[in-house]
Amino acid sequence: MIITIDGPAGAGKSSAAKRLAREIGFDFLDTGAMYRCVTLACLRQQLLLSRVDEVAAIARAVEIEMRENHVFMNGEDVSEEIRMPSVTQSIRPVADNASVRQALVAAQHRWTEGRDVVTEGRDQGTVAFPNAQCKIFLTATPEERAHRRVEQLIELGMDAHYEEILQQQNQRDVHDTMRESGGLKSAPDSITVWTDGMSEEQVLQKLVEIVQTKMPASASK
């Protein structure tokens, strides 16, 4: 069984998807980590990200594995490096590259074959797994997401200004939504969950409730 969780940055998708997978005994696929790995591989090779064919060749060649919440690229644990600002700031042309998306969606299909999976990203319920049995669109208002981001950055000891974060986030939302292939949108058959004012625990409970209504008896472990 496939459960897709899509939504904008800062909606709490990642922790919600991870916790949901653990709770119901499914594997967890972080598709954002795949785009991050391709970006890191390109940066290491000092490849111009505008060279769409070369970037796509890297996306097809790179081996990405996910085990126990660690991400391995060609056998190397890159879990921390793919979250570095240098990768985050460079990712847009990689995620916009239609051939990269095609290669990564194919890799997502291989990864999920024969497994029960919670998969998280932007295009999982729309492009990657249009026939998924359970689709969730997890979101929150821009203001709530920006407040959460500011709190996270301050916890990490970084400087963060709400207005600036909100503005950057709004720009990213527009870009993610307008992306020609794999743009961020909710699938018509997805269930939207607004997480404003909800704790992580409450979000988890809500997701478990939704999944229970969709889960065939044979898929539960």
123 binds ligand DC (CB under 6 A): yes
DSSP character string of the chain = -EEEEE--TTSSHHHHHHHHHHHHT-EEEEHHHHHHHHHHHHHHTT--TT-HHHHHHHHHH--EEEETTEEEETTEE-TTGGGSHHHHHHHHHHHH-HHHHHHHHHHHHHHHTTS-EEEEESSIIIII-TT-SEEEEEE--HHHHHHHHHHHHHHTT----HHHHHHHHHHHHHHHHH-TTT-----TT-EEEE-TT--HHHHHHHHHHHHHHH--GGG--
Binding window for ligand DC (CB under 6 A); candidates: 61-69, 119-127, 136-144, 163-171: 119-127
Binding window for ligand DC (CB under 6 A); candidates: 120-128, 141-149, 160-168, 199-207: 120-128
In the complex, least distance from residue 3 CB atom to ligand DC, rounded to whole angstroms: 14
In the complex, least distance from residue 207 CB atom to ligand DC, rounded to whole angstroms: 17
Number of residues that bind ligand DC (CB under 6 A): 11
122 binds ligand DC (CB under 6 A): yes
Site for ligand DC in 19-48 (CB under 6 A): 31-32, 35-36
Q: Which is nearer to ligand DC, 100 or 191 (CB)?
A: 100
95 binds ligand DC (CB under 6 A): yes
Selected binder of ligand DC within 8, 12, 121, 125 (CB under 6 A): 121
The footprint of ligand DC (CB under 6 A) covers 9, 31-32, 35-36, 91, 95, 121-123, 182
